[in-house]
């Protein structure tokens, strides 16, 4: 129920903001707006404010919306109202009206990011977990426990890193855009700061998923290798493990952090069978040894080990909060960065350098809406900001059925001095519908594969 409510609220809000952008600028340009509708299908509720000719409506299927303006191309217009028709407005006004919807979504995203920056949010500190074996991070000399002070693309000036979230975002951009990354670190056990270079420019970053970070070797923040929430009757309980036990060694391998501990547990299976292993643990200052035989679980094509307990302590947290101007500016910058990254991924998908698996549809969006809402208001606002950016960027694409397609028509009109002919527009609209239907089909297929595969 939470997932459905969060999804409907998100969709309704983002569509309303998009259409309000069109509506507000249309009114400002002197265009008569006949109807402002959120959703399609049967009208559930309608109203009309005093002093306006616009009918506002809420319809049964909130999967879109529209602003219907007076337009001679759609219906006859009385002589006395021709100056109020959209098609009779100067090119500049028509461009502003069409562009206002996507821009409203981008402005909303910047504001949502700013609200999160102003209110403050707790993120894991930029402490690195032990890197994956053979990963780029391990090859760069990282061992785990380092604190990242500053970071940036290899050729850019390094910027302060406040949280692990800052670092994760930088690494994502670098991998997808083909940049190496320099990190200025302290620790573990070192006084002086040092720099390392992560060679991410040569990565095959066709998909933005967990495998991307596994190849980098940066899966999550550092956590102490502590056992917590042992399930009754599970492998950890049978072995005598208790909440608060600190794992020092598994077999002959020293355990440095929670991530390495999870990897060792997953790998404690040989030929599909769990392998009993001696664990050296620290329980309230007393060292002891227990024999742990993990349970086996199927994870995709692999059989992995599980112990039935929470593995790893809560990471060190930092509260990130910014002032009014700085918080708003960072919101604008994050919106710009996400927009550029979205366009770059779309461009790579178009030329085959990125997988179409990156496309997500309504099922995945609904799933993430519910999960983010369950995590609290801050995470839900961040989710809304991301989807708002995606909606804004998508509508600016030069597809004839989208706002970007209409802007493409106006560009042609501005260059040639003549509007696109009705015949050409009709053919382009058909092509745009076909492309959009194809994209929606791929996104829905990805949803079904991702959620039920």
Chain segment 79-89, per-residue pLDDT in tens: 888 999 999 99
Rounded Cα distance between 14 and 296, Å, is 44
Residues 396-405 pLDDT 10s: 988 888 899 8
User: Which pLDDT score, from 0 to 100, does residue 451 have?
Assistant: 59
- Which pair of structure tokens corresponds to residue 434? 């076909």
Mean pLDDT of the 255-272 span: 89
**91-105, 180-194, 297-311, 329-343: range with lowest mean pLDDT:** 180-194
Residue 430 has pLDDT above 60, yes or no: yes
User: Which pLDDT score, from 0 to 100, does residue 192 have?
Assistant: 67
Residue 77 has pLDDT above 80, yes or no: yes
Rounded Cα distance between 224 and 346, Å, is 39
The beta-strand segments (E) located in 6-145 are 33-47, 55-69, 121-124
Report residue 427's pLDDT band, with 50, 70 and 90 as the boundaries: confident
User: Which pLDDT score, from 0 to 100, does residue 335 have?
Assistant: 95
Mean pLDDT of the 99-126 span: 94
Residue 362 has pLDDT above 80, yes or no: no
Answer yes or no: are the C-beta atoms of 264 and 278 closer than 8 Å. Answer: no
Answer yes or no: are the C-beta atoms of 335 and 109 closer than 8 Å. Answer: yes
**18-27, 103-112, 202-211: range with lowest mean pLDDT:** 202-211
User: Which pLDDT score, from 0 to 100, does residue 147 have?
Assistant: 92
Answer yes or no: are the C-beta atoms of 248 and 255 closer than 8 Å. Answer: yes
User: Which pLDDT score, from 0 to 100, does residue 388 have?
Assistant: 93
Rounded Cα distance between 388 and 376, Å, is 18
Rounded Cα distance between 409 and 94, Å, is 11
Using CB atoms within 10 A of its CB, is residue 188 exposed (0-12), middle (13-18) or buried (19+)?
middle
Mean pLDDT of the 151-180 span: 90
SS3 147: strand
Question: What's the per-residue H, E or C state across 181-226?
Answer: EEEEEECCCCCCCEEEEECCCCCCCCCCCHHHHHHHCCCCECCCCE
User: Which pLDDT score, from 0 to 100, does residue 358 have?
Assistant: 67
What residues contact residue 169 under an 8 Å CB cut-off, 6+ apart? 337
End-to-end CA distance of the chain: 22
Q: Which residue out of 19, 146, 289, 353 is catalytically annotated? A: 19
User: Which pLDDT score, from 0 to 100, does residue 26 have?
Assistant: 94
Query: Which residue has tokens 């929430």?
Result: 229
**164-178, 348-362, 374-388: range with lowest mean pLDDT:** 348-362
- Which pair of structure tokens corresponds to residue 109? 């995203």
Residue 240 has pLDDT above 80, yes or no: yes
Inter-CA distances, 79 with 83, 85, 90, 168, Å: 8, 10, 18, 59
Inter-CA distances, 175 with 24, 171, 242, 342, Å: 39, 6, 40, 13
Residue 206 has pLDDT above 80, yes or no: no
Residues 19-65 pLDDT 10s: 999 999 999 999 999 999 988 888 888 888 777 888 999 888 777 88
Report how far Cα 417 is from the mean position of its chain's Cα atoms. 41
Domains and CATH numbers, the chain: 1-15+89-120+323-453 (no CATH), 31-88 (no CATH), 136-216 (2.30.42.10), 227-311 (2.30.42.10)
- Which pair of structure tokens corresponds to residue 33? 């707006």
Rounded Cα distance between 95 and 200, Å, is 40
User: Which pLDDT score, from 0 to 100, does residue 73 have?
Assistant: 86
Question: Over the chain, what is the mean pLDDT?
Answer: 86
Mean pLDDT of the 147-174 span: 91
User: Which pLDDT score, from 0 to 100, does residue 452 have?
Assistant: 61
Report residue 210's pLDDT band, with 50, 70 and 90 as the boundaries: low
Residue 241 has pLDDT above 70, yes or no: yes
Answer yes or no: are the C-beta atoms of 64 and 40 closer than 8 Å. Answer: yes
Residue 453 has pLDDT above 60, yes or no: no
Mean pLDDT of the 295-313 span: 87
Residue 68 has pLDDT above 80, yes or no: yes
Using CB atoms within 10 A of its CB, is residue 254 exposed (0-12), middle (13-18) or buried (19+)?
exposed
SS3 120: coil
Residue 115 has pLDDT above 90, yes or no: yes
Q: Is 19 a catalytic residue?
A: yes
Mean pLDDT of the 244-266 span: 91
Answer yes or no: are the C-beta atoms of 390 and 342 closer than 8 Å. Answer: yes
User: Which pLDDT score, from 0 to 100, does residue 243 have?
Assistant: 92
């Amino acid at each position: 129920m939470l997932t459905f409510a969060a999804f409907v609220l998100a969709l309704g809000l983002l569509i309303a903001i998009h259409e309000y952008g069109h509506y507000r600028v249309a009114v400002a340009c002197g265009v008569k707006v006949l109807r402002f509708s959120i959703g399609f299908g049967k009208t559930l509720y309608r109203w009309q404010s005093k002093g306006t000719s616009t009918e506002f409506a809420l319809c049964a299927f909130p999967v879109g919306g529209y602003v219907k303006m007076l337009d001679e191309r759609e219906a006859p217009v009385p002589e006395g109202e021709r100056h109020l028709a959209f098609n009779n407005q100067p090119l500049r006004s028509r461009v502003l009206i069409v562009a206002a919807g996507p821009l409203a979504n981008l402005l909303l995203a910047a504001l949502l990011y700013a609200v999160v920056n102003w209110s403050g949010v707790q993120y894991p500190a930029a402490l690195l977990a032990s890197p994956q074996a053979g990963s780029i991070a391990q090859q760069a000399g990282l061992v785990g426990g380092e604190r990242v002070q500053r970071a940036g693309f290899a050729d850019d000036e390094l910027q302060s890193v406040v949280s692990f979230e800052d670092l994760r975002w930088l690494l994502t951009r670098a991998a997808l855009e083909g940049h190496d990354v320099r990190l200025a670190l302290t620790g573990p056990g070192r006084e002086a700061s040092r720099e390392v270079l992560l060679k991410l420019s040569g990565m095959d970053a066709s998909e933005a998923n967990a495998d991307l970070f596994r190849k980098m070797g940066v899966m999550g923040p550092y956590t102490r290798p502590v056992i917590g929430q042992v399930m009754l009757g599970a492998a950890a309980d049978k072995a005598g493990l208790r909440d608060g036990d600190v794992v020092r060694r598994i077999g002959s391998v020293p355990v440095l952090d929670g991530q390495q501990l999870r990897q060792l547990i997953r790998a404690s299976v040989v030929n599909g069978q769990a392998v009993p292993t001696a664990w050296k643990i620290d329980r309230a200052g007393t060292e002891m040894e227990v024999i742990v035989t993990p349970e086996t679980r199927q994870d995709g094509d692999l059989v992995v080990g599980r112990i039935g307990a929470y593995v790893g302590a809560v990471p060190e947290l930092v509260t990130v909060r910014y002032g009014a101007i700085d918080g708003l500016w960072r919101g604008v910058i994050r919106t710009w960065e996400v927009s550029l990254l979205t366009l770059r991924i779309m461009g790579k998908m178009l030329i085959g350098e990125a997988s179409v698996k990156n496309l997500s549809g309504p099922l995945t969006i609904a799933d993430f809406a519910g999960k983010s809402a369950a995590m609290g208001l801050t995470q839900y606002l961040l989710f809304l900001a991301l989807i708002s950016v995606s909606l804004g960027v998508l509508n600016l694409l030069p597809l004839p059925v989208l706002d970007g397609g209409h802007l493409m028509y106006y560009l042609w009109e501005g260059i040639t001095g003549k509007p696109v002919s009705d015949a050409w527009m009709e053919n382009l609209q058909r092509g745009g519908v076909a492309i959009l239907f194809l994209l929606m089909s791929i996104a829905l297929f990805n949803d079904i594969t991702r959620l039920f595969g």
